[in-house]
Amino acid sequence: MNVDDLPYPAYVYDLPGLADHARTIRSALRGTELFYAAKANPDPEILRTLAPHLDGIEVSSGGELAHVRKALPDIPLAFGGPGKTDEELARAVAFNVDRIHIESPRELTRLRELGRADVLLRANLPFAAPGAALTMSGPFGMDEDALNECARRIAESPGITLKGIHTHLASGLGAPALLDLSKRITAWALPWLRDHGVTEPEINLGGGMAVDYTNPGALFDWAAYGAGLGRPEARLRVEPGRAVTAYHGRYVTDVLDVKTTRGETYVVLRGGTHHLRTPAAKGHDQPFEVLTRKSEPVGRATLVGQLCTPKDVFARDVAVPPLAPGDVIAFAMAGAYAWNISHHDFLMHPHPEFHYIR
C-alpha cells in the first residue's frame, strides 16, 4: 500500500508483522499460556490476526466480552475488571467464559447466585515493583484477608470452582523486574492454593511488559522472560496488551500549517490526540517518521493537532527536517492504547480511516 494514496489521518495496521510478533512471543513463552488483553486494541482485524497465536483473550467489561465473542466465537476467554455488574456477570456465565477473575468477596457472592463458574481470585500483593510505569494496587484485587474470605465462601458454593490466582501488579517492567515479581507471586500463590485444596493450581501473572516509546527497537525480552519462568508446579498464564500490539500500528497524517510563535516552531497536523491519545496519556513524545522528506533534521519543532487545547501535543521540541503543508508524518507505536482510548468526538473532527496491510 502506498501511504501517499491515503486520505489523512489514517491508522495503518501491519497484520503480517503483528502475526510474526505474536508467534515469536508465544514460542518464547515455552508453554506459559498467552492471553491477549483486548483493552490494548480490540479492533476485530487485530483480534483475528492474533487468535491463532493465543491461548485466549482477557476481557474487562461486558462490552469487551460481547465484542470479542462476536469476533472470535470459539476462543477461550478470561473475564476480569473491577466493578462488574450483575448483568455483566450473568453474561459471562451465559457465555460460559473459561475463567472469571474475582475482585472482591461481595462480587463472588453475587456470582454464585448466577450459576456455575471457574474462578481465579485477583490478589493485591504488597510486592514492590521498582521502575514500574504504573502500579495496580489500591482498589484492584484483594488482600490476604479478603482472599481467605473468598476461599471460605467458595468452599460453601458447589457451583464455583477455585482454579487459581490472578495478578496484574504493575506495568512497564522489563523482563528481569517482571521475572522477579513473577517469582514472588508464585512463591506466595502456590502454598496458598495448596492450603485451600487446589490440586492443579493456575497462576495468571497479568500483563505489564514494558514498551519503550523512546526506543522503538528495544523490545521486551520475551525469550529471557519465557526461559526465566521455567516450569513451576502451576499452569502459568500471562495477559499482556501493550507489548503485543503497540509496534504494528501507525497513525499517518499530513501537515496543515507550520508557524513560529515567540521563537517556538509548531507543526500543526490534521487530526490530533483525540485520535491518538497515547502521548498525552503517557506524557511522552510519540516516535515518528516524516514520509515525504528524507533529509536530516535541520531544526526543532513541536508537533500538535487540531484541538483547542495546549495538551494536544504529539511530540514536543523534537528534531525535524524542513516541513511544509502537505508533508506526511507517520507516528509509530500506535497499535496499543491509541485509537480506542482517545476522546474521538471532542471538536467533532472526522474520524480517521483504518487500513490493514495484509
Ligand X SMILES: Cc1ncc(COP(=O)(O)O)c(C=O)c1O
Whole-number Å distance between alpha carbons of 318 and 238: 36
In the complex with ligand X, which residue's Cβ is closer, 76 or 321?
A: 76
The stretch near ligand X (CB under 6 A) out of 146-154, 189-197, 201-209, 276-284 is 201-209
Positions in 157-196 near ligand X (CB under 6 A): 168, 171
Least separation in angstroms between residue 81's CB and ligand X is 7
The stretch near ligand X (CB under 6 A) out of 42-50, 123-131, 206-214, 313-321 is 206-214
Q: How many residues sit close enough to ligand X to count as binding (CB under 6 A)?
A: 16
In the complex with ligand X, which residue's Cβ is closer, 241 or 287?
A: 241
Residue from 29, 178, 179, 209 binding ligand X (CB under 6 A): 209
Q: Please tell me whether residue 206 binds ligand X under the rule CB under 6 A.
A: yes
Q: Please tell me whether residue 208 binds ligand X under the rule CB under 6 A.
A: yes
Residues 6 or more apart whose CB falls under 8 angstroms from that of 126 comprise 137, 143
Give residue 86's identity as a one-letter amino acid code: D
Q: Please tell me whether residue 307 binds ligand X under the rule CB under 6 A.
A: no
Least separation in angstroms between residue 210's CB and ligand X is 9
Q: Please tell me whether residue 241 binds ligand X under the rule CB under 6 A.
A: yes
Closest to 7 in 3D by CA, of 325, 271, 341, 267: 271
Whole-number Å distance between alpha carbons of 39 and 42: 6
C-alpha cell at 85: 455488574
Site string for ligand X, 19-58 (x = CB under 6 A): ------------------x-xx-----------------x
Whole-number Å distance between alpha carbons of 140 and 83: 10
Q: Please tell me whether residue 242 binds ligand X under the rule CB under 6 A.
A: yes
Instruction: Tell me the β-bridge partners of 257.
Output: 268
Residue from 56, 105, 240, 272 binding ligand X (CB under 6 A): 240
The stretch near ligand X (CB under 6 A) out of 69-77, 225-233, 239-247, 255-263 is 239-247
Least separation in angstroms between residue 355's CB and ligand X is 24
Site string for ligand X, 243-272 (x = CB under 6 A): x-----------------------------
Neighbours of 183 (CB within 10 A): 14
Site string for ligand X, 64-83 (x = CB under 6 A): ----------------x---
Closest to 312 in 3D by CA, of 301, 303, 304: 304
Neighbours of 195 (CB within 10 A): 10
Of residues 214, 283, 308, 345, which has the active-site annotation? Answer: 308
Any catalytic annotation for residue 308?
Answer: yes
Least separation in angstroms between residue 302's CB and ligand X is 28
C-alpha cell at 109: 457472592
Least separation in angstroms between residue 58's CB and ligand X is 6
Query: By Cβ distance, which residue is nearest to ligand X?
Result: 207
Least separation in angstroms between residue 5's CB and ligand X is 32
Q: Please tell me whether residue 84 binds ligand X under the rule CB under 6 A.
A: no
Least separation in angstroms between residue 63's CB and ligand X is 15
Whole-number Å distance between alpha carbons of 72 and 82: 24
Upstream peptide bond of 9 is cis (omega within 30 degrees of 0): yes
- With vertex at residue 139, the alpha carbon angle to CA 236 and CA 166, rounded to the nearest 5 degrees, is 10
Q: Which residues are catalytic?
A: 308
> Contact residues for ligand X (CB under 6 A)?
37, 39-40, 58, 80, 168, 171, 206-209, 239-243
